[in-house]
Amino acid sequence: MSVRTFLAAPEGFEAEALVRATAPAIGLRLGEDDVAEIAMNLERSAGFAALLADIPQIDLEEPAPVFRAEPAP
């Protein structure tokens, strides 16, 4: 396909290192066999995230509404 269905992670992104560092911080114990598979998924997400990072000024945009302050019913 000429459209991009898959995007590579940015160069230098060390997914396995991120997996090993994050697992204890969020209470997960991982088998060694899992680390590479999880890292591969994170690399995929990093590729998509890089596409968003390329949008000019995105960090200054307003996020989608996720909370509405409303009076109690």
Partner 1 sequence: MSAAAISEAVRAGRMSISESVNRALDACAADRCNAVTALLADRARTRAARMDAQGETNGPLAGVPFAVKNIFDVAGQTTRAGSAATDGDAPAREDAFVIRALEAAGAVLVATTNMDEFAYGFSGENAHDGDTLNPRDRRLSPGGSSSGSAALVASGAVPLALGTDTNGSARVPAALSGAIGFKPSYGRLSRNGVFPFVPSLDHVGIFAANVSDAARAFAAMDQPDPADPIAARVPQAELAAPRVARLGGWFAAPLQEDVATAMEAACTALDVRETLELRHAEEARAASFILTTSEGGQTHLARLAARPEGYGPLVRHRLTAGAMSPAIWTTRAQKLRRMVSVELADLHAQADILIAPATPCPAFPVGTDTHEVAGSALPIRLGIGMFTQALTLTGVPIIVLARRGELSGLPVGVQLIAAPHAEATLLASAAKLEAAGFHTAPEEASHV
Q: Is 58 helix (H, G, I), strand (E, B) or coil?
A: helix
Alpha helices in the chain (DSSP H): 15-25, 32-53
Residue 69 within binding range of partner 1, rule CB under 8 A = no
**Amino acid sitting at position 54:** D
Which of 12, 32, 56, 65 lies at the binding interface for partner 1 (CB under 8 A)?
65
The pattern of x and - marking residues 11 through 50 that bind partner 1 according to CB under 8 A reads: -------xx--xx--xxxxx---x--xxxxxx-xxx-xx-
**In sequence order, which residues have a C-beta less than 8 Å from that of residue 42 and are 6 or more positions away?**
9, 15, 18, 19
**Residues near partner 1 (CB under 8 A):** 1-7, 18-19, 22-23, 26-30, 34, 37-42, 44-46, 48-49, 51-53, 55, 58-59, 61-66, 73
